[in-house]
Structure 1
Amino acid sequence: MPVKLFVRLAGHAAVLTLAANCNGQWTVTSLHPAGATNSRAWSTNNGKQGGWAFVDGVGGACTWNGTAASWADLRPSGYSSSQINALSPTQQGGYVDIGFGQPHAALWSGTSSWVDLNPAAAFADFSEVFAVADGQQVGWAQIFTWTHASLWTGSAGSWVDLNPPGVTFAQARAAAGGRQGGWVQMPNGFHASLWSGTAESWVDLHPSVATGSAIMAMTDTQQAGTIEMGGPPHACLWSGTAESYVDLHPLAAGDSWSSALAISGNTQAGYVILNDTIHASAWMGTAESWIDLHALLPADFTSSQATGVWTGPTGIHVCGYGFNETIGRSEALLWTLPTCQADFNHDGFVNGDDYDSFASLFELGDLGADINNDSFVNGDDYDLFASAFESGC
């Protein structure tokens, strides 16, 4: 079977030099719940989205499963405001306002019941969760006048202060693979930062050429956020070291702002200011790969932001929100690029990386190569992959 595979795929080698970017297949779905005054989606993971909707006079935490009709109300009873900022397959993180504009870091598990993570023992006044992953929650807590990058593992008592010695302002905004990402304020500006569970593990990812930097999202191997180099902030991508940074700011945007707010697989999401308008945007690792998601919206939408992204077996899913000027409200949105069978590694491109990934699993008879989902790995799967690979989807 391995010989057959490589002989038959050899005829498609020329396609490897014509890496196809599957940008033309994006669709947009409104997540705005019926009866809501405003809504915003902040995060997406495993086919679900989390965010905020103002319904019946109360703005609060909610989730969706890809449609407006799937809206699920997670607002805790008796509280005036709450929001979900982040999702894992089993948990949701954000805040609940306990009164008088006092947010407490909050953790949900799919219902309106919530866990108050505010580290009261450390005399915290305010706190908020921005990311959840692998049983960890990260965010910030304000203690007296200092803002502390914070880590929890499911309870207020588990709180860990991530501020390096001498730092009085820091936030953790991302988590993956047992590490945390965010920024700390140094004498010369904000510095993109990584931690591995303790303040002592702090790693400075601030590039030497930068005047400011921050991590907003991360995977096990990459970090996304913002970099300043004496001008407006630019969307940026790192691969674990300060000097690995890649400026994602598109040439078409000129001397304006951009930021990467989310990352999954090889896809980053955020916004670009273009002609004084905020445009929801996506990238796939380079400035040249920039995708203007705002251009897919009806003319009623005068601005938009992408705030979350998830790449999975069904495609690339980017959530966010746009302002509908005709109605005068913000609306939660979901942009989707459906799976292309030849885009085997789900990075939005059809190239040699997909060939290598498929070939490796196909040789082993791994069900990951079962493209037609018949529980067998055989020539039928090869034929489907080869056909899609040749056409570039």
Structure 2
Amino acid sequence: MELKFTDEELAFRKEVRAFIDKHLPKALREKLAAGHHPSHDDIVFWQKTLNAHGWGVPHWPRDHGGTGWSAIKQYIFQEEMMMAPSPPPLAFGINMVGPVIATFGNDAQKARYLPRIANLDDWWCQGFSEPGAGSDLASLKTKAVKDGDHYIVNGQKTWTTLGQYADWIFCLVRTDPTVKQQLGISFLLIDMKTPGITVKPIQTIDGGHEVNEVFFDDVRVPVENLVGQENKGWDYAKFLLGNERTGIARVGISKQRIRRIKELAAIEQRGGRPLIEDQRFREKVAAVEIELKALEITQLRVIAAEAKREKGRPDPASSVLKIKGSELQQATTELLMEVIGPHAAPYAPEDDHGSNEPPIGPEWAQTIAPTYFNVRKVSIYGGSNEIQKNIIAKAVLGL
């Protein structure tokens, strides 16, 4: 594999950076660099900005708004967006259900949903995990029983990220309980305004409201909202998760955090000199940077192999990216915690505006501990790292 980018690819990177500099407001960029979460409006604004430029869904087919970029250009684009940093795309629509509809949906579904997903006119959330059916997703119990031209859905989903904002949810539901677990699952698109749906917040360890429980009580879903064939939902879910894991390494995010670590370590003092001058700390940063470079090369190898892979068949090597990418995301937040030291102890939620007490420690330190705790989840979602190791053992090592 050629490890150097071509002149055309380097020129494209400059084009992406120039676009970000021109269109991403400085205040929003600084907000994200400081570790604050983007708001609902931040994400919508940036997606609409990208889509107006033709960059909203670069990895989709051209017929549905895609750019036709090579896999390398898509990688460069994602990396620059993460390093800026800019508000992340709403993955549930753009990276998950959108490609599923584009690949397996009928013409009516493509015409109805895809343009609205690309422009973030509809906010989507994911209805996969359930109590007792997380990494063991095939054991899900939410059922859908056909009643004329509708399915009647009953059950519960959990860890539904940003479901409090959602207009739609894509769900795996059991439509045939008499066959092997994986063979009786279907993929449904459900309007969140449908009677019988209840959303309840779950407070995460960092004090935020990012995930939810979603309950379905006799929810009537039109049969026309079935994607593909009934009882083939497991195949579509594997396709979706394969797409999710290929980009889940988040190399650009880790690069941006390392940049932040060095900036803050140059400010923070230890023993009368900047922390960045401490030899042991520098060795820790260097070790993470070396591993990150190895991960980046591995991701580029996976991308280079995509053209040779059977369409719709996920690459088991994406599990390697998921494992190492999540480990490095956690390692970078650990280094940030080391930078701020005892200032990590006080906790002040972002949405807590009722306190009149001054912050303890520098203002920039306030987001680091919540981010550290929040990033503990990355080795669990998208299929836990333990499950990814099983995938590698079976698909790659033949064990």
After TM superposition, is the score higher than 0.5?
A: no
Higher strand share: 1
TM-score for both structures, normalised by structure 1: 0.24
Higher helix share: 2
